[in-house]
Amino acid sequence: MPAVVVVGAGVVGLSAALEAQARGLSVTVIDREGPAAGASAGNAGAFAFPDILPLASPGILRQAPKWLLDPLGPLSVPVAYAPRLAPWMWRFWRASRPAQVEASTRAQTAMMRLAAETLDSFLERAGLAKMLRREGQLQVYEGAREFEASMPGWDARAAEGVEFRHLTGDEIAEVQPGLSPRFTHAAFTPGWCTIDDPKDYTLALADKVRSNGGEIVIAEATALTPDGVRTSVGDLKGRVVLAAGAHSHHLARTAGVRIPLETERGYNTTLPGNAFDLRQHITFSAHGFVVSRLSSGLRVGGAVELGGLERPPNFARADAMLRKARAFLPGLDASGGTQWMGFRPSLPDSLPAIGTLPGHDNVICAFGHGHLGLTQSTATARIVADLLTGRTPEIDMAPFSPARFARAT
Q: Rounded to the nearest 5 degrees, what angle is found at the Cα of 214, between the Cα atoms of 212 and 216? A: 135
Distance CA 359, CA 357 (A): 6
Query: What are the tens digits of pLDDT across the range 259-304?
Result: 999 999 999 999 999 999 999 999 998 898 999 999 999 999 988 8
User: What is the strand order of the sheet 132-133 is part of?
Assistant: 46-47, 193-195, 132-133
What is the DSSP annotation of 88-135?
HHHHHHHHTSHHHHHHHHHHHHHHHHHHHHHHHHHHHHHT-GGGEE--
- Let me know if 364 is exposed, middle or buried by CB neighbors in 10 A (0-12, 13-18, 19+): buried
Band the pLDDT of 194: cuts 50, 70, 90: very high
Nearest to 255 by CA among 230, 291, 283: 230
**Residue extents of the structural domains in the chain:** 3-408
User: How far apart are the C-alpha atoms of 24 and 22, rounded to whole Å?
Assistant: 5
Pairing of strands 297-306, 75-76: parallel
Q: What percentage of the chain carries pLDDT values higher than 90?
A: 85
Closest CA to 193 of 91, 67, 72, 45: 45
Q: Residue 41 in contact with residue 199, Cβ under 8 Å? A: yes
Q: Taking the model in full, what pTM does it have?
A: 0.95
Three-state DSSP class for residue 262: strand
Furthest C-alpha separation in the chain: 62
Per-residue model confidence as pLDDT tens digits over 62-115 = 776 666 657 777 778 888 888 888 899 899 989 999 999 999 999 999 999 999
With residues binned 3-state (H G I as helix, E B as strand, rest as coil), the percentages for the chain, rounded to 5, are 40, 25, 35
Per-residue pLDDT, 408: 38
345, 246 contact by CB (below 8 A): yes
Question: Mean pLDDT over residues 178-183, rounded?
Answer: 96
Give the residues across from 137 on adjacent strands. 189, 281
* Burial class of 209 by CB neighbour count within 10 A (0 to 12, 13 to 18, 19+): buried
361-395 pLDDT, tens per residue? 999 999 999 999 999 999 999 999 999 999 999 99
* Among the four given CATH numbers 3.40.630.40, 2.40.70.10, 3.40.50.2300, 3.50.50.60, the one describing domain 3-408: 3.50.50.60
| 135-178 residue pLDDT tens | 999 999 999 999 999 999 999 999 999 999 999 999 999 999 99
State how far the Cα of 268 lies from the Cα of 44, in Å rounded to an integer.
9
Given this model, what pLDDT does residue 102 score? 93
Q: Which one is predicted more confidently, 57 or 155?
A: 155
